[in-house]
């Protein structure tokens, strides 16, 4: 009886409101000699591995605690080979005082909540039927160039000296073992050991392990490709990966350290099924090279790599252009792709990074509308067309964007991506976040996808045309994932290196696309940095927006910033730094929480977006402009540019305004107009337009960098489609007829941009400057107002007041000084010209509108009191009279 009492849980003493305790008793099936582990996860949370830590008369026990009060916890009983005790996931759903305790019989899928039930149902094993399974290696992994970790299905005697009967071979040759250690020896027996070899293994050879009484097993790659020894031996720093073209020869170099053979395959035509195979030579740091003599401009090529006897064919990841649909790389004479007018060292004028006003645009959306007036619909060349108009006669295309006043056009992905068949002459659409060949432009945007030079030249023509019209060009880049990790060129050439993996060896899905690029690995980081630098130099690009930047690592992003600054410090770097669940350590993630570690890299400010309009994840949720209350603090955080302004008003810590991008709308969610239709269906278009204009004005009068989706200024709609990544042109197109239908909002938008560009007070360059010059006023609920003093950032206006009223009635606020004030922005008009003047120390802010005023103090006297002015004038008169009298005597 005493023995039975010993195994009873102490659940009656555990109950805590914020903790959940799990106790699992497991009776192994004696017919199965596997080493079992636990995988546990609270409902809707991530899981983790747990070991059995004790035993009782029933079997093994796994006991752990989770932070939080849960009523459902899932578990799997499995081996390191991911063999499950039963097929289905199981869940503990009965708890008492915060404790969930169950009993499990090996091989039995049922969960028992009492010892008596489990014991009664336990399967009786007849000794004559027990089968002795053969001894085997459960796993054998190479985790370093000299270290192999193994696990066996049965325990064996372990001593601290000798080779213990282990034999390691490389292509049949026995390798010398230096020492063998174990982290888990119980009673002189173990099932896990680490074998340290005397020399590095050859990664492109077959490695096997055997032991007395154990069958031989192939050693697979574990953590070796991420190890320090691998990095030291195989990190290639040269700048000649890919193909290096000249008229006399083209040199090829590919990094494939785990391949036993590599071949260069050349093709004459883009759709040839077979090509000419040429053996490449093994070179330094895991690279393979070959020089192909003669002028090879226009040929297509791939690499074939032999990985442990299996041949993979892949496109060169560094290929600068590709065949139609990107299944072959292409050699291109880049000099011949330069347009007749090409100024690679000139950019439109631009001073401070906070001067940027970004306009997000999809290449196809821009011109595909039948009413766009552009001939090259859906193509790069549409950006070169000037003088285009819509059916109403209003400007469209590049003329329209130039007149709008934005500084940067941000092109959604323009690299070669999957899901679009470039050989089909039919309507196809995708946003482009499906990378296939990073360094080649997308062929569907060119007039001839079959000619690898055409896509390069036409993109350069588009960039030059935008530059000629005073517009800088950003590129939306997607280095966090690929369309297919397993079938990517990276994985075909160096399997297991370029993508993060789960504990069971499968690709992790941190990105939501089935794979995540391991930017922390040296050669993956090198590729990303090399690729960005190539685009910046070859296409004279002015900025890069990183998709899901939070999945990349801080070191990679800082290296990119450093390289781009050495090219031109005015190049923008921005990205979505949402905190994703990744295998990276918290301090290594390039996310918002680590913004202070990445100077001059801007983070998208989701807080002001959601504060303004409501969460994008809940379409009918409102924000400040459309009916929600107590959003003032979120708005203030955006107004100050996300800096650490006070204990309450701060966003991402100790950052500068250049590190924040404020926005209310982007391609990835409902347009602002569609959001307002969802949140305020009973309001009139007139009311919703007021809300829309207020949101636009708040973005353009906040510190930091403002960002807009193309068409936002004329109330763009996507017919309510939230994620239009593969919707029709009819949904995604820029509907140019809305420009004239909503010309009032377009003019309002232009006026706001004119105000921002003319007055540097809205573009302060440091956190200290903002804290010194920007002060919030005390105002009624559902309002935010602030003043900027002392000619902030050398502004010509000494004192500016900005107020936003989200109430449905006019509100009056008290100003900090009396005098004559000029209104330049109200709910109807915006710009730098005075709409009207008023005197006094009170300001009436119309319902659902923004207002900007400045103090009439164009000279020193208007900023002084009347008495002081009289004294100064009299003093000056006296001085003049004295001077004249003295002069007369002389």
The pLDDT of residue 860 = 45
The pLDDT of residue 125 = 36
The pLDDT of residue 871 = 67
Q: Mean pLDDT throughout 468-496?
A: 97
Domains contained in the chain, CATH given: 2-129 (2.60.40.1110), 137-229 (2.60.40.1130), 243-314 (2.60.40.10)
The pLDDT of residue 314 = 98
Q: What is the 3-state secondary structure (H, E, C) of 713-782?
A: HHCCCCCCCCCCCCCCHHHHCCCCHHHHHCHHHHHHHHHHHHHHHHCHHHHCCCHHHHHHHEEECCCCCC
- Torsion sign over Cα 317, 321, 325, 327: negative
**Is residue 586 pLDDT above 80, yes or no?**
yes
**Is residue 766 pLDDT above 50, yes or no?**
yes
DSSP string, 822-860: EEEE-SS-BSSS-SEEEESSEEEE-TTEEEEEEE--SSG
Burial of 206 from C-beta contacts in 10 A (0-12 / 13-18 / 19+): middle
**Is residue 123 pLDDT above 50, yes or no?**
no
**Is residue 14 pLDDT above 70, yes or no?**
no
Q: How confident is the model at residue 742 (pLDDT cuts 50, 70, 90)?
A: very high
- pLDDT tens digits, 442-455: 999 999 999 999 99
The torsion defined by the Cα of 807, 809, 814 and 816, in degrees rounded to 10, comes to: 50
The pLDDT of residue 212 = 84
Q: Two tokens at 352?
A: 């401070």
d(CA 795, CA 565): 28
- Cα angle, residue 702 at apex, residues 699 and 705 outer, rounded to 5°: 75
The pLDDT of residue 2 = 35
Ranges 115-119, 579-583, 695-699: which has the least confidence: 579-583
**What are the distances in angstroms from CA 655 to CA 444, 650, 701, 766?**
40, 10, 19, 9
d(CA 321, CA 140): 41
Residue tagged 């004028």 (tokens): 349
The pLDDT of residue 130 = 35
Contact yes or no for 254/287 (Cβ under 8 A): yes
**Is residue 188 pLDDT above 90, yes or no?**
no
**Is residue 787 pLDDT above 80, yes or no?**
yes
- pLDDT tens digits, 808-853: 999 999 999 999 999 999 999 999 999 999 999 999 999 999 999 9
Q: Please give the share of the chain, as a percent, with pLDDT higher than 70.
A: 93
- DSSP character for 9? -
The pLDDT of residue 29 = 82
Q: Mean pLDDT throughout 624-632?
A: 96
The pLDDT of residue 213 = 83
The pLDDT of residue 30 = 76
The pLDDT of residue 10 = 39
Residue tagged 């902030």 (tokens): 792
- pLDDT tens digits, 850-870: 999 999 754 444 444 445 556
Q: Mean pLDDT throughout 567-578?
A: 97
Using DSSP bridges, classify how beta strands 783-788 and 800-805 pair: parallel, antiparallel or unpaired: antiparallel
**What are the distances in angstroms from CA 786 to CA 58, 202, 778, 802, 816?**
70, 66, 9, 6, 10
**Is residue 107 pLDDT above 90, yes or no?**
no
Q: Between these two residues, 501 and 784, which has the higher pLDDT value?
A: 784
Buried b (16+ CB within 10 A) or exposed e, 623-657: bbbbbbeebbebbbbbbbbbbbbeeebbbbeebbb
**Is residue 888 pLDDT above 60, yes or no?**
no
- pLDDT tens digits, 263-284: 999 999 999 999 999 999 999 9
Contact yes or no for 296/245 (Cβ under 8 A): yes
Residues constituting the chain: 890
**Is residue 635 pLDDT above 50, yes or no?**
yes
Ranges 42-51, 190-199, 706-715: which has the least confidence: 42-51
Q: Please give the share of the chain, as a percent, with pLDDT higher than 90.
A: 79
């Amino acid at each position: 009886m005493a023995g039975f009492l010993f195994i009873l849980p102490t659940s009656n003493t555990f109950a805590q409101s914020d903790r959940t305790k799990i106790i699992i008793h497991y009776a192994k099936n004696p017919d199965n000699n596997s080493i079992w582990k636990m995988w546990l996860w609270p409902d809707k949370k991530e899981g983790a591995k747990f070991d059995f830590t004790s035993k009782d008369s029933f079997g093994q026990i796994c006991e752990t605690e989770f932070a939080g009060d849960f009523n459902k916890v899932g578990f799997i009983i499995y081996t390191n080979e991911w063999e499950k005790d039963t097929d289905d996931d199981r869940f503990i759903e009965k708890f008492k005082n915060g404790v969930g305790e169950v009993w499990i019989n090996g091989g039995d899928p049922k969960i028992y909540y009492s010892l008596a039930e489990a014991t009664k149902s336990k399967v009786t094993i007849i000794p004559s039927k027990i089968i002795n399974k053969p001894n085997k290696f459960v796993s054998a992994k190479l985790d370093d160039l000299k270290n192999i970790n193994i696990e066996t299905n049965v325990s064996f005697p372990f001593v601290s000296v000798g080779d213990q009967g282990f034999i390691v071979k490389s292509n049949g040759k026995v390798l010398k073992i230096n020492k063998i250690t174990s982290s888990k020896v119980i009673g002189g027996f173990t099932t896990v050991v680490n074998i340290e070899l005397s020399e590095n293994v050859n990664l492109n050879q077959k490695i096997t392990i055997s032991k007395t009484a154990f069958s031989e097993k192939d050693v697979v790659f574990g953590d070796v490709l991420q190890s320090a020894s691998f990095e030291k031996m195989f990190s290639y720093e040269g700048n000649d990966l890919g193909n290096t073209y000249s008229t006399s020869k083209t040199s090829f170099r590919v990094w494939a350290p785990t391949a036993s053979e590599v071949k260069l395959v050349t093709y004459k035509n883009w759709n040839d099924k077979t090509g000419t195979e040429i053996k490449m030579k093994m070179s330094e740091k895991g690279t393979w090279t070959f020089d192909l003599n003669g002028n090879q401009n226009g040929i297509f090529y791939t690499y074939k790599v032999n990985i442990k006897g299996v041949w993979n064919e892949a496109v060169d990841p560094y290929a600068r252009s590709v065949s139609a649909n990107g299944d072959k790389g292409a050699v291109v004479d880049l000099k011949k792709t330069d347009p007749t007018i090409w100024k690679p060292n000139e950019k439109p004028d631009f001073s401070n990074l906070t001067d940027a006003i970004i306009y997000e645009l999809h290449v196809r959306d821009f011109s595909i509308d039948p009413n766009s007036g552009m001939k090259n619909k859906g193509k790069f060349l549409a950006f070169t067309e000037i003088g285009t108009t819509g059916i109403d006669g209003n400007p469209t295309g590049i003329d329209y964007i130039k007149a709008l006043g934005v500084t940067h056009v941000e092109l959604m992905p323009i690299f070669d991506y999957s899901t679009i068949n470039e050989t089909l002459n039919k309507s196809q659409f995708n946003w482009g976040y499906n990378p296939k060949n990073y360094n080649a432009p997308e062929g569907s945007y060119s007039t001839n996808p079959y000619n690898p030079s055409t896509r390069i030249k036409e993109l350069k023509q588009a960039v030059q045309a935008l530059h000629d019209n005073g517009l800088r060009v950003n590129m939306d880049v997607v280095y966090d994932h690929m369309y297919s990790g397993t079938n990517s060129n990276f994985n075909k050439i160096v399997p297991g290196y370029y993508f993060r993996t789960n504990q069971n060896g499968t690709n992790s899905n941190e990105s939501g696309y089935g794979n995540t690029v391991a930017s922390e690995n040296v050669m993956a980081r090198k590729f990303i940095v090399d690729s960005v630098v190539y685009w910046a130099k070859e296409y004279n690009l002015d900025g890069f927006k990183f998709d899901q930047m939070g999945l990349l690592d801080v070191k990679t992003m800082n290296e990119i910033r450093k390289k781009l600054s050495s090219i031109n410090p005015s190049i923008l770097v921005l990205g979505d730094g949402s905190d994703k669940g990744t295998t990276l350590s918290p301090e290594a993630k390039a996310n918002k929480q680590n913004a202070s570690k990445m100077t001059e890299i801007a983070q998208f400010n989701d807080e002001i977006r959601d504060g303004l309009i409501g969460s994008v994840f809940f379409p009918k949720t409102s924000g400040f402009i459309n009916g929600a209350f107590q959003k003032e603090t979120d708005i203030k955080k955006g107004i100050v540019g996300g800096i650490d302004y006070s204990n309450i008003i701060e966003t991402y810590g100790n950052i500068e305004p250049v590190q924040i991008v404020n926005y209310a709308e982007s391609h990835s969610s409902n347009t602002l107009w569609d959001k307002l239709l969802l949140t305020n269906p009973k309001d009139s278009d007139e009311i919703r337009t007021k809300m829309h204009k207020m949101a636009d004005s708040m973005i353009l009068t906040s510190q930091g960098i403002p960002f807009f989706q193309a068409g936002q200024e004329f109330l763009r709609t996507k017919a309510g489609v939230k994620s239009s990544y593969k919707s029709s042109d009819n949904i995604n197109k820029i509907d140019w007829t809305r420009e004239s239908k909503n010309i009032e909002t377009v003019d309002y938008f232009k006026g706001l941009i004119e105000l921002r560009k003319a007055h540097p007070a809205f573009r302060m360059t440091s956190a200290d400057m903002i804290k010194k010059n920007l002060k919030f006023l005390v105002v009624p609920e559902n309002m935010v107002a602030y003043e900027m003093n002392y000619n902030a950032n050398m502004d010509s206006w000494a004192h500016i007041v900005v107020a936003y009223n989200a109430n449905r009635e006019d509100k009056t606020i008290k100003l900090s000084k009396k005098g004559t004030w000029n209104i330049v922005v109200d709910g109807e008009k915006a710009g730098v010209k005075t709409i009207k003047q008023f005197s006094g120390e009170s300001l009436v802010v119309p319902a659902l509108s923004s207002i900007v005023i400045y103090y009439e103090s164009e000279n020193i006297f208007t900023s002084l009191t009347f008495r002081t002015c009289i004294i100064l004038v009299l003093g000056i008169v006296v001085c003049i009279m004295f001077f004249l009298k003295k002069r007369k005597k002389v």
